[in-house]
Amino acid sequence: MAIVIRRRTILVIIIVCCIGYLLHLPNGGSMEQTNRIRLLTAPMKLCYFISMAAESLGLSDRAVVTRKIIDMAAVFKDTASEDANLQITNTYIENVRVRIARPSNDNSNLPVIIFFHGGAFYMGSIDTHNALTSTLARLANVVVISVNYRLTPKHPFPAGLEDCYTVVKYILDYKDSQKLRIDPTRVAISGDSSGGNFATVITMRLATRPVTQFLPRLQILLYPSLQVFDMMLPSHRQEHYTLVYYDIHHLLSIYLNKTVDKSIYANNHTSVKQKKHYRKFIDWSLIPSKYRIKYQEPANDDHEGDPNLIKETKKALGPEISPLLVNDAQLAKSVPTYVLTVGHDRLRDEGFIYAGRLKRVGVKVVHNHYENTFHGSISLLYGLLSLDIAHEMVADLVRYIKENL
């Protein structure tokens, strides 16, 4: 009897510890509605461990497992409230799958937002971001075209980028505007995280090498990924709350279809010559001083990187992956830009640097920073786990769209 009690006690302790771990909210003390965020965090931790276990057992790459779990979860969402008062059309543009959301009570030729979802280039879809895209269409009274681009690792760079570019070119060259009932002269290119990377790259492509009848009027970037040159920015080294955990070295490995190891976090993927060349584009003085108290200046710029890693990641320093690494003359060609950054985000500082550099060269920029929230939070608009800060961010964005698009 004593043995049975002891075993049950041990089992209860293990269960309690597991629940405690899953609900633990590391580095989240400054955020509001923490109980809801805890409930969001638990399944994402489970997702991460399942994906890592599957990879360790040789069953599948962690990225593929993570994407499948998140896609399955998206199926169970209540889209009725998300899509209220909208016409939703799932179709293809030049063989690329898209979802078009437009207000059901307006048949005029409306402005357009072409949206690229985030997900570290290997996850996410038009379903995972449906709440955000539908809400923008309804509240801003615009047509939102959400692009379901190809994902890595099955489709490495530049497949997803080219899918997005294909859709953008089609819309900006659109001659029969009555068919989609859009105004191709009032187009914004937008995306969050990795989708923000695509939006920035494509907008820059069109600004420097115009190939369409019209150009985008705006770019709207939500905590965008803009560079992989300096992995020792303060926001990369500081502890943050993270909802969806991913390793940058693994992300780059599958995106580039190369082998990238963890030494990239010490900027071991660049030579001294490269550091001298690219450093001027990553200006730490544009990062707010409160974030530079501990990490005050760039590190390891006099350190020669690993030759093999330098070779494997060379493509990542180009403007098609790191659009922040271009000169001021190129940046000055950018269209008016909206940048959203958040406090709990490794991408925070490059957003500040990008917005600051655009302002310096005369580009019209609105930069809204939300300190007490995390990467990905703008999409949490519906259901029991919706967040007030998501609605605040969307309200600010809708106001900008109405005033500028």
pLDDT in tens, 213-254: 889 999 999 999 999 999 999 999 988 888 887 889 999 999
pLDDT in tens, 334-355: 999 999 999 999 999 999 999 9
Residue type, position 208, single letter = T
Q: From the candidates 127, 163, 192, 345, which is the catalytic residue?
A: 345
pLDDT value at residue 25: 60
Q: Please give the model's pTM, rounded to 2 decimal places.
A: 0.93
pLDDT in tens, 166-217: 999 999 988 766 688 999 999 999 999 999 999 999 999 999 998 888 899 9
Short-list 165, 178, 182, CA closest to 100 = 182
The whole-angstrom separation of Cα 244 and Cα 267 is: 23
Positive or negative: CA dihedral 75, 77, 82, 84: positive
φ and ψ at residue 379, rounded to 5 degrees: -85, -5
Asked if residues 117 and 192 have their Cβ atoms less than 8 Å apart, the reply is: yes
Pairing of strands 110-116, 143-147: parallel
With cut-offs at 50, 70 and 90, classify the pLDDT of residue 69: confident
Short-list 334, 180, 322, CA closest to 248 = 322
Short-list 224, 223, 170, 177, CA closest to 197 = 224
Averaged pLDDT for residues 315-326: 97
With cut-offs at 50, 70 and 90, classify the pLDDT of residue 311: very high
Q: Is 193 a catalytic residue?
A: yes
Asked if residues 112 and 182 have their Cβ atoms less than 8 Å apart, the reply is: yes
Pairing of strands 143-147, 182-192: unpaired
Q: Is 375 a catalytic residue?
A: yes
Residue at token pair 């500040």: 352
Q: From the candidates 193, 225, 253, 322, which is the catalytic residue?
A: 193
Asked if residues 163 and 198 have their Cβ atoms less than 8 Å apart, the reply is: no
Averaged pLDDT for residues 353-361: 98
Which residues lie across from 340 on neighbouring strands? 222, 368
pLDDT in tens, 369-383: 999 999 999 999 998
With residue 186 as reference, give the H or E element that holds it: strand 182-192
For the chain, what is the mean pLDDT? 90
Residue type, position 402, single letter = K
Residue type, position 321, single letter = I
- Given a cut of 90, whether residue 268 has pLDDT beyond it is yes
> Cβ of 100: how many Cβ atoms within 10 Å?
22
With cut-offs at 50, 70 and 90, classify the pLDDT of residue 393: very high
Averaged pLDDT for residues 156-171: 97
For the chain, domains (ranges, CATH) are 42-405 (3.40.50.1820)
pLDDT value at residue 335: 97
Q: From the candidates 117, 129, 344, 375, which is the catalytic residue?
A: 375
Positive or negative: CA dihedral 261, 262, 266, 267: positive
pLDDT in tens, 124-151: 999 999 999 999 999 999 999 999 999 9
- Given a cut of 80, whether residue 17 has pLDDT beyond it is no
Residue type, position 164, single letter = C
With both helix axes pointing from N to C terminus, report the angle between 194-208 and 159-172 in degrees, rounded to the nearest 10: 50
Asked if residues 137 and 85 have their Cβ atoms less than 8 Å apart, the reply is: no
Q: Is 250 a catalytic residue?
A: no
Averaged pLDDT for residues 58-87: 80
